[in-house]
């Protein structure tokens, strides 16, 4: 799978923030697809100074896994809230480069436009991959919201002043909600609808959950035996 080369990843935090601001004008929050046949989930795990990325491709709406690819790389950027893509982006793109079944939609474990500069990992990498992307985060990074109903599908809008950044979505009855925000080439109503179609038995949409399981399996294999000692 090919992707665009929009900028260098070898930057300092101040340069990274400028890049985010410069890219903001390229974001599209309009639905750009007519049908979905394949959907992807992406996640990252860490082991010492290594970053493990997993991409899982599923048929949609059947949600059957058809491809998995991974990438293991060194960590070259510090952990700074709001600049996650500069830490994880190169590894995620390296994994996507191996993908043969190109997805129609990509779900990320992270933010879309619900970000101080509207450039969460789903948005930033959506621009690189030129694909519709959705951020599915477990916690809030930006914006305010009111209480959410207890039923599956209930949601409250996530706002900053009058700007709508996303939604706090209840994916299972009386289970802690998740934060959904459009990344790129998709709007919020379609983001919510697609996420709900990917909820099977768990809080997280299945593509993201399967990617999470995948990277942890790889991590466990890395840590299971070192010099014959299990960690």
Q: How confident is the model at residue 109 (pLDDT cuts 50, 70, 90)?
A: very high
Domain membership of residue 60 (yes or no) is yes
Domain membership of residue 116 (yes or no) is yes
Domain membership of residue 206 (yes or no) is yes
Tell me the C-alpha distance between 61 and 193, whole Å. 12
pLDDT value of position 224: 64
Q: What is the pLDDT of residues 9-62, one digit of tens each?
A: 999 999 999 999 999 999 999 999 999 999 999 999 999 889 999 999 999 999
Owning domain of residue 117: 31-224
Q: Checking DSSP bridges between strand 133-137 and strand 105-108, what pairing results, if any?
A: parallel
Cβ proximity of 209 and 216 under 8 Å: no
- Residue 210 CB neighbour total at 10 angstroms: 22
Domain membership of residue 22 (yes or no) is no
Domain membership of residue 21 (yes or no) is no
Q: What is the pLDDT of residues 122-178, one digit of tens each?
A: 999 999 999 999 999 999 999 999 999 999 999 999 999 999 999 999 999 989 999
Domain membership of residue 49 (yes or no) is yes
The residue-averaged pLDDT of 192-212 equals 97
How many domains, in total, are found in the chain? Answer: 1
Domain membership of residue 73 (yes or no) is yes
User: Global pTM?
Assistant: 0.94
CA-to-CA separations, 99 to 68, 86, 116, 179, 231, in angstroms, rounded = 8, 21, 31, 27, 31
- Any residues with CB less than 8 A from the CB of 74 and at least 6 apart, and which? 49, 50, 51
Does residue 229 register a pLDDT over 60? no
Domain membership of residue 163 (yes or no) is yes
Q: Checking DSSP bridges between strand 50-59 and strand 178-184, what pairing results, if any?
A: unpaired
CATH number assigned to the domain comprising residue 52: 3.30.2170.10
């Amino acid at each position: 799978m090919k992707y665009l080369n929009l900028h260098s990843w070898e930057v300092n935090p101040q340069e990274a923030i400028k890049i985010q601001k410069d890219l903001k004008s390229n974001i599209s929050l309009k639905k750009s697809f007519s049908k979905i046949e394949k959907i992807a989930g992406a996640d990252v795990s860490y082991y010492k100074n290594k970053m493990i990325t997993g991409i899982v491709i599923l048929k949609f709406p059947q949600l059957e896994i058809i491809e998995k690819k991974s990438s293991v790389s060194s960590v070259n950027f510090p952990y700074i809230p709001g600049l996650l893509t500069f830490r994880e982006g190169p590894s995620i793109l390296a994994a996507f480069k191996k993908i043969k079944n190109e997805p129609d939609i990509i779900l990320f474990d992270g933010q879309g436009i619900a970000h101080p500069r509207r450039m969460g990992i789903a948005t930033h990498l959506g621009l690189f991959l030129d694909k519709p992307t959705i951020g599915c985060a477990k916690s809030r990074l930006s914006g305010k919201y009111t209480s959410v109903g207890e039923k599956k599908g209930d949601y409250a809008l996530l706002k900053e002043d009058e700007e709508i950044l996303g939604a706090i979505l209840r994916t299972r009855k009386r289970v802690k909600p998740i934060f959904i925000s459009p990344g790129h080439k998709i709007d919020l109503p379609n983001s919510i609808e697609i996420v709900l179609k990917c909820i099977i038995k768990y809080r997280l949409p299945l593509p993201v959950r399967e990617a999470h399981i995948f990277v942890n399996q790889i991590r466990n294999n890395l840590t299971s035996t070192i010099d014959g000692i299990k960690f």
